[in-house]
Structure formats: structure tokens, C-alpha cells
Structure 1
Amino acid sequence: MSPSAAWTLYERLLFDEELREAFAANRASVLDQHGLAEVDRARFCAMSLAGLQADAEGRRRYLMAALCRPYPLSAAAIGADNPRALSRFLSGPALFLPLAERSARFGDHLSGLLDALEDHIPEVAGRLIRAVLSVERALVDNAAALREAAGRGEAPGPPSPPSSAQLKRGRVRLPPYLLVAELPAPTELVRAALGGVGPEDVFPKLEAGQVSRDRLITVARAEEQPVTLMCRGVVSGQSHERAGAGGLSPLVDVKHLRVELAGRQGPLIQSLQDEPTLKELPPAREALMRRLIEAGVVELTR
């Protein structure tokens, strides 16, 4: 099979369900549209439909599990009654983009699906899902920025515990690669409402019909329990894997340190712009800052 038109058609058959169905119904019509050489046309005519379907399904499940991993809550909420809508992403050209851009484009795909979904769910549920998607998309972008920085040798690693001198004289400040967002409900409440989905199992659970949106709508309709989410991105490890032509491709592991504070804590976060010392803070706020320092989402100057 030549690597041009024939391979392009095979890729499309693997990832475009509608084209695959058309191929199963009328091979000649599909092949006529792709200008294949006779030898390639003969191979497609002899192709096992069952084998093609098995290959396509295996690849689809693997790729969708990877694409949904950074978007566990929003993918679950948006794809709860239609996981195939999530899979339509595979039929577009964005599938073949570099990892960071592909993941960002999948976030755009989820946003487009949510636009359509909002006509069929309560407005408060749409706002909750949109807020969750915005946070997960921001984490994807933050991870991509960290990997780029790691390539330049500039990305921060996990924070070290502060010294006694820092605790006495250091100033509290917001570190780089910190995201702060307010959500109308705690993330664990959202996760529980979606059946306890996580990054590793969100798409398998969607495919198995184990995710319902009903409890999430109940959460959205209840009295708001706003939280402030603080997520600090760090590089937790770097390695290399063998690439083509004997080269090495860098692998950068990114981790987000997370703390969720009850209520809308915008004024608290804003107050840290002044970089106070711990002793300059009221006792209750000092205790909270120590907790945030221990969690690694804020830091002390040296």
C-alpha cells in the first residue's frame, strides 16, 4: 500500500466513524473518491471489515482515554449521555497536532459541545460545568507552559520546606505557575455527583454508561458552596524516551499542587501582592498562610 492516498484513507477509516460506515455500505463509492492506484484499491476491497472495526475501536478507546485524562470532570459532565460526541474529535485534523496543542484543541471541542448542551440543561448546571471546564483547560495550558520552560531549563521543581530563617523573616508571595479560580461548588462534590470519575477511568466509565448528569444538576440547583482553588504547577520529573532516527525525546512530568479554600477568597489572594511577613498577619491568617506554605501553593522569600 503506497504511503500517500492509500495511507491517508486508512487513517480516515480508523478515526472517522461516518466514513467507516459509508465504506462498509459501499466500498466502491468511497474508493472512487480517493483516486487510489489499482493495487491499493484491490487491497481495500479485500480488507476485513471486522478487522478494521476492531483496529478502529482499540485506537479510539486508547486515544479518548488519553484526551479525557486532563479533563475528567468536564468530559464526564459533557459526555454523560453521549460519549460518541466526544469521540468525534478524532475525525478532525487536530488529532495529529503535537500533544500540548492537541490537548488544548480537545478543550475547545468540549467547549463547543457544552455550547450545544446548554440549550438542554438548567442554566445553573451550564454555569457550573463551564466553570469546571475553564479550570481544567487552564491547568492544561499551565502544564504546557511548564514543559516549554523545562525545555529552556527554567521550570521550577517541587518546593522545599522553608527554613527557620524564612519562617521568621521571609515574605509570603505567590509563586510562578500558580492558578487561582473560584468555583460554585467543591470539586470533590462535583466528582461525587459524577460517580467518582478520575483521570484514569473517565472515558471507560462514560462508555459503560456509568456516568449520569442528574446528580450534578441537583448540586448545581442547590445553594452555592463557593470555593477558591489554588493550583501550583511544578516539574516533578524529567526523562527521555527513544525517538525516531535513534534520537531521544524529552518527557516532562508536571504536577499541580492543590488547595481548595471554602468561600470566595479573592481579597485574601490580593493581599499577598504586598508580600507580608508571617508576623505581620493576624493570627488566623498567619495560620492559614502556614497551611498554604506547607501545601506548596504559596512560598516565602529567602
Structure 2
Amino acid sequence: MSPSAAWTLYERLLFDEELREAFAANRESVLDQHGLAEVDRARFCAMSLAGLQADAEGRRRYLMAALCRPYPLSAAAIGADNPRALSRFLSGPALFLPLAERSARFGDHLSTLLDTLEDHIPEVAGRLIRAVLSVERALVDNAAALREAAGRGEAPGPPSPPSSAQLKRGRVRLPPYLLVAELPAPTELVRAALGGVGPEDVFPKLEAGQVSRDRLITVARAEEQPVTLLCRGVVSGQSHERAGAGGLSPLVDVKHLRVELAGRQGPLIQSLQEEPTLKELPPAREALMRRLIEAGVVELTR
């Protein structure tokens, strides 16, 4: 048996909790199933279970923190009473996919967990969580598309302030890589209901038992406060890091410029397909468009 087979088994022991428990209970039985060479078998027989567990826990926490980072609100809402359910993703083959695909597949994993969770929570709470997950998943897909475009030299950078000529004669338009979504509650209200979780601390807070779904259910049951979310993806920076064989691997930083408008503003956004000038808009709408232009989520033609 090749050394890679021994490493494959070790990887499985690191990320598959059930296999690790079986190995701890009867390592001879687990090794028999993998047909390792005697020298590799001897190494596994001498392996420290405490060391294996410590290695597995450290890697699990690191990987889960990274996987949950793009899904802070949906991961918190779905994993509030069972963070181990989120970690089951690590035992599947998707863990070893490229970063963008792995992140998308983790979104699928969250959706599958939500399918089960919806049988145990109020329907309105399930709808709210699914709406949030849909937005976070769309942001993941948008970031992946931007990174692909950056590889072709086509991705947009941060927008520049419009010139006075653009403000006078430019037409308001929707830029590329803009996402528009409606949510039944403001994102900051959802975040506060989940204990103020953010991308950097969502999984540590879940593991520490600091996230509860109760307040989120209260928010979902209350009168709707719909908002329209505009998120424009831009490339905020590019660099390279050392890769294998002395090569360079590109690093593309993606940022989403965000504005949240009260109410369901779909018709307003749809009206921008006509690309009006600012002066063609009613005063209140012109003021709103100027705010959106300043925030960078819509733009003016030159």
C-alpha cells in the first residue's frame, strides 16, 4: 500500500468524527478495513489518541471558522443549538475542493440542515433564515465570479467619485456585480437577535453556546420590517503568495459595498433600467440616487 493511502486514512481520522471514535474503540478493526502496509499499520497502532484528537480539534475549529465566515447570520441561526451539525461537512469530499467551490458547497450543506430545522421552528422563522441564507450564498457566488473575472483582467475595482460633468449629464445605471435582494427584517436586527455575531467570531460563539435562536424567532414573529439590500462586488486588492514548486498563487480581495433601504424597493431599482439622469428624477428620488451613488452601489455613465 502506498504512503498516500496511509495519509488518506489519517486525513479521514482528522475530519471524520465517527471514524475517529471507531478507531479509538478498536483501531485494529479500522486498520483491517484499510489494508495498510505493516510499517504504516505499526505507526497507526502506536499513534497517541490524545494527540490525534488534539490535532483534529485544532483543524476542525480553524476550518469551520473559515467556512462560516461568509455565512455569519445563516450559520449562526442554523447551528445555534447544534454546531456539530455544521462540522459534519468536514467528513465529506467537498472539503478538498477548490476554495470557491468548497464555500458554495458549504452553503448547500447549510440549506440541507435548514430543510430539517424547518420542521422544528415556526414557519416565519424558517422563511427569515432561508432569505438570509439566500443572500449570503449569492454574495459567495458573486465573489467567486469576481475572482474569476480578476484572473482574466476584467474585474472592476472600487468606484471613483463621479465628476461634476457626470452629475449633470450622466445617466444613473446599475453596475455589474450588483446584487439586489429583499429581506423581511433588517440585517442588523437579525444580527442583534443572534447575539451580535460577525464573520470573525460566529463559529467560536456557536461552540461556546453564546448563540440562541429564541430572539430571532421573536423577530420573525413580529410585524415585518422589510428592507431592500443592494450589494455591489468590487475587487479591493490583488497580491500573490508562494505556492508549490516555487510558483505564485494569486490572492484576490473582494469587497461588497452595501446599502440597505427601508421597504420593498424593487420597483425603484427596476426603474433604473431606463438609465435616467439625476435631473429627470423627482427631488426625493434624486436625493436617494445621490446617496446610492456616493455609497458606490449605483453609478453614473460618463
Is TM > 0.5 for Structure 1 vs Structure 2? yes
The offset of 1:2, in angstroms, is 4.7
**Residues 13 and 20 of structure 1 are in contact (CA less than 8 Å); yes or no, is this contact kept in structure 2?**
yes
**Residues 65 and 202 of structure 1 are in contact (CA less than 8 Å); yes or no, is this contact kept in structure 2?**
yes
CA distance in 2, matches of 1:214, 1:3: 49
Equivalent position SS for 2:121: coil
TM-score (norm. length: structure 1): 0.99
CA distance in 2, matches of 1:118, 1:34: 39
Asked if 1:58 corresponds to 2:58, the answer is yes
CA distance in 2, matches of 1:127, 1:7: 43
Q: Which moved more, 1:1-10 or 1:284-293?
A: 1-10
Residue in 2 that maps onto 1:249: 249
- Structure 1, residues 142-182: CA drift from partner, whole Å, max 9, x if none? 00000000000000000000000000000000000000000
CA distance in 1, matches of 2:2, 2:40: 7
CA distance in 2, matches of 1:47, 1:4: 17
**Residues 143 and 254 of structure 1 are in contact (CA less than 8 Å); yes or no, is this contact kept in structure 2?**
yes
**Residues 86 and 110 of structure 1 are in contact (CA less than 8 Å); yes or no, is this contact kept in structure 2?**
yes
Asked if 1:186 corresponds to 2:186, the answer is yes
Residue in 2 that maps onto 1:230: 230
- Structure 1, residues 222-251: CA drift from partner, whole Å, max 9, x if none? 000000000000000000000000000000
CA distance in 2, matches of 1:238, 1:28: 49
- Structure 1, residues 72-123: CA drift from partner, whole Å, max 9, x if none? 0000000000000000000000000000000000000000000000000000
CA distance in 2, matches of 1:3, 1:54: 23
Residue in 1 that maps onto 2:279: 279
The offset of 1:5, in angstroms, is 1.6
State the identity %. 98
State the number of aligned residues: 302
CA distance in 2, matches of 1:277, 1:34: 69
**Residues 5 and 35 of structure 1 are in contact (CA less than 8 Å); yes or no, is this contact kept in structure 2?**
no
Residue in 2 that maps onto 1:160: 160
- Structure 1, residues 248-296: CA drift from partner, whole Å, max 9, x if none? 0000000000000000000100100000000000000000000000000
CA distance in 1, matches of 2:297, 2:92: 38
CA distance in 1, matches of 2:207, 2:2: 35
Residue in 2 that maps onto 1:196: 196
**Residues 2 and 40 of structure 1 are in contact (CA less than 8 Å); yes or no, is this contact kept in structure 2?**
no
- Structure 1, residues 55-77: CA drift from partner, whole Å, max 9, x if none? 00000000000000000000000
CA distance in 2, matches of 1:57, 1:2: 27
Residue in 1 that maps onto 2:176: 176
CA distance in 2, matches of 1:268, 1:5: 58
The offset of 1:4, in angstroms, is 2.1
CA distance in 2, matches of 1:250, 1:8: 28
CA distance in 1, matches of 2:265, 2:118: 28
The offset of 1:48, in angstroms, is 0.1
CA distance in 2, matches of 1:152, 1:279: 37
CA distance in 2, matches of 1:286, 1:248: 47
The offset of 1:3, in angstroms, is 2.7
CA distance in 2, matches of 1:258, 1:124: 25
- Structure 1, residues 13-55: CA drift from partner, whole Å, max 9, x if none? 0000000000000001100000100111010000000000000
Q: Any gaps of 5 or more consecutive residues in structure 1? A: none
CA distance in 1, matches of 2:2, 2:158: 49
Equivalent position SS for 1:257: strand
**Residues 67 and 103 of structure 1 are in contact (CA less than 8 Å); yes or no, is this contact kept in structure 2?**
yes
CA distance in 1, matches of 2:186, 2:10: 45
